[in-house]
Chains A and B, each alone.
Chain A
C-alpha cells in the first residue's frame, strides 16, 4: 500500500510531442485549412459571450487539439453557442464559427464509427 507522507505527487503536465495523437488536428486542417493561420492572439476568447460563464475559448480548443488533448477540447466545445462573434473579430479572417462546426462534425463521425 502506498505510504501517506501528508502530501501528494501531482502528475507532470509535460507533453511528449513525439507520442501525442494529432490525427484530429490533421483532419481539421484538411477540412479547414485556415486552422493553420491562427496566431493564437485570443481575440476570439476575449469577445466570446460564453467565455465568462463557462470558460469557453476557441484559442484553447485549437491548442488542445494541436496537443492531442481531444477530450478537453470536446468538453469545451459543448459550451459554444455558435453566435459567431469570434468570427467578426478574428484579425486573420478565420471563419471560427465554421471551424467549430467542422470540428463538431469530426467528433460526430468519430462517435458514429464507434
Chain B
C-alpha cells in the first residue's frame, strides 16, 4: 500500500481531543482500587503541564456500574449523566473527561442514544428538571483521560527522569497494554485507533521507551465483566478469562502491564494472587507476578514521583522488581507508611506469590 493511502486510512481512526479546558469526572471505584492515580492525573495536568482541569466535588458516579450490573434501567443512568452534564455546564466547561472507561462508554452510549432518539433526551431533561431543577448542554467533546494523557505523552517524555528501559541490559521493557472493553469495542470511532488498532496506551509506551508486545489474547477481556464478577457463582468465569490472558502472554515474558480501565488493573493484579493460591502458578520472574499499572502510575514513575506516593504499595503483585529494573530508587521501609508517616499496617503475605 502506498504511504499516503495508509495515512488516509489511519486518519479515519483518529478522534479530535482538545488540548485544554476539561471538566474532570472521577470514577467511583478507581479511588478505592488505585487511590493516587486520579490525583496524579490532576497533578501532572495542572502543575506540570499547566492545563485547566475542573474537579468539582458535587458530581457523583455515572451510574454505569449499576447499569452494567442490571440493577438500574438506562433512563436512570441517563438522568445521572444529565446531572453531571448540568454541573459541567454550571462550571462553564464544554468538554468532559471521565476517568473511568465504563463512564466513558456510558456517556458515549447515552449521547449516541439521544442522537438517535431525541424524544428520550427531552424526557431525561424533564426528569432532571423535576428531580434537581437543573439544565444542561450537550458536551462538545467526550474524551477518556487516557486519551488526554495520550496527547500529553510527548511532553511527558521530554520531562521524564526515567524511561521504560532495563538499566542493566539497556533493552526496552516488554510491556503488555490492556485496553478496557468499553473504550472502543462499543463505539470504535470514539477511540484513538478504533477497536482494531487502539493505540492510546501503545502510543504512551512507545513514547516513554518501552516495547509493546503482541500476544494471541491481546484484545481479550480482563474477566471483570461486572455481573460475571459481582455474582459469586459466576466468578469462576471471570477468573478463567484472566487466566486465559496470562497463559497467552506468559511465553512473551512481559515485564509489566499497563491499563486504562478501573476494573482491568484491579483484576489482572488481584487474580494473580488467586491463581497462585489455587494452582501454585505465577507468571513473573522468580516466583513474582507481573506488575500491573494504571497509565497515570506509569506516567508518574517515568516523571520520577515517589512510588509510594503513587500508591504502588496497594498493589497485590510486588512492584519492586520492576522499579529495580528501571533504576527507580525507593525506600522499602516507607512502603507501608501513609500520610504524615502514619503506619497503614503491613498486609499478610500470600503463600505462593512472592511479595514484600
Contacts and interface: CB of A to CB of B under 8 A. Distances in A.
A9 B281 CA distance: 12
B235 A7 contact: yes
Interface in B265-279: 274-275, 277-279
Contacts of A2: 277-280
Contacts of A12: 240, 243-244, 247
B240 A10 contact: yes
Contacts, number: 40
Interface in A1-60: 2-3, 5-12, 14
Nearest to A13: B244
A8 B247 CA distance: 16
A10 B236 CA distance: 7
A9 B80 CA distance: 37
A9 to B, nearest CB: 6
B232 A9 contact: no
B326 interface: no
Given A2-B280, A3-B277, A9 B248 contact: no
Interface residues of B, number: 20
Interface string B158-169: 000000000000
B233 interface: yes
Contacts of A14: 216-217, 244, 247-248
A7 B239 CA distance: 9
A39 to B, nearest CB: 26
B237 interface: yes
A6 B275 contact: no
Contacts of A6: 232, 235
B236 A8 contact: yes
Contacts of B216: 14
A10 to B, nearest CB: 4
A67 to B, nearest CB: 16
Interface in B78-118: none
Contacts of A10: 236-237, 240
A89 to B, nearest CB: 37
A40 B211 CA distance: 41
Nearest to A8: B236
B2 to A, nearest CB: 34
A9 B246 CA distance: 13
Contacts of A8: 236, 278
Nearest to B234: A7
B247 A5 contact: no
A8 B74 CA distance: 33
A7 B232 contact: yes
A20 to B, nearest CB: 15
B275 A9 contact: yes
Interface string B234-270: 1111011001100110000000000000000000000
Interface string B271-294: 000110111100000000000000
Nearest to B220: A14
A24 B208 CA distance: 49
A9 B236 contact: yes
B25 to A, nearest CB: 33
Contact of B240 (A3, A5, A9): A9
8 contacts: A2-B277, A5-B274, A7-B233, A7-B234, A9-B278, A12-B240, A12-B244, A14-B216
Given A2-B279, A7-B232, 8 more contacts: A2-B277, A2-B278, A2-B280, A3-B277, A7-B233, A9-B279, A12-B244, A12-B247
